[in-house]
Structures are given as C-alpha cells and as structure tokens.
Amino acid sequence: AKEKELEAQEKERQLQLEKKELEHQAQKKELQIEKYKADLSNVTQRMLFERFFTRVAAKVVEHSSGTEAIDLGLSEAMIKDMRNLSISFSRMNRLLVQNENLRKKVWEWIG
C-alpha cells in the first residue's frame, strides 16, 4: 500500500512537471509568434513608407518646373536627389514636416 502511494505521488509529480514544461513551451511559442508579428509589422510599415516617399519624390520631380521648385523652397540638388531616388527617408520626412507649402502641394498632387 505504501509503495502504491509513493508510486502515485511520483506519477503526480511527473504529471506536474510535464504540465509545467508544456505551459513553458506554449508561452515560448506565443512569444515567438508575437516577435514574428512585430517583425512583420515593421517590414510592412517600412515598405509602405518606402512606397509613399518614392511616390512623393516622383510627384515632386514631375511637377517641379523651375519656378515652382523655387517657390516650394527646393534646390536643384534636392530635385536631382529625388529624381535619382537617392534622398533618404529621414531627409524626405524632414522636408515634408518643415515645409508646409511642399506638404500641401504633395497632397494636392497625390490626390
């Protein structure tokens, strides 16, 4: 009887350990899924920003004849960088944030 009781206790301990291990694995898997979602979200956001800034650059180049570029405060070097798509995202963002006239024109051009 004593031996069966010890055996039952040992099985109970073993089951508890297995349960904890499965819970740990499930928690680990959940963390992996959350990390994957965050990584995917970052890539998606980056791609959206890239498409937006590329479109903005194309519209600025398309509509920036000499006087309009000057009116918007854009130098020939900036226009050239936009034409060659060599302008950084942060520089493009800074331009749109700091230059209200340009920002309004871009939204007008994009529609």
Domain ranges for the chain: 2-110
Non-local (6+) Cβ contacts of 73 within 8 A are: 99, 101, 102
Asked whether residue 66 carries a pLDDT value surpassing 80, the answer given is no
Q: For 13-43, how does the pLDDT look when each residue is reduced to its tens digit (9 = 90+)?
A: 999 999 999 999 999 999 999 999 999 999 9
Q: Can you say whether the dihedral through the CA atoms of 103, 71, 88, 98 is positive or negative?
A: negative
The pTM for the full model equals 0.62
Portion of the chain with pLDDT greater than 90, in percent: 59
Average pLDDT, the chain: 91
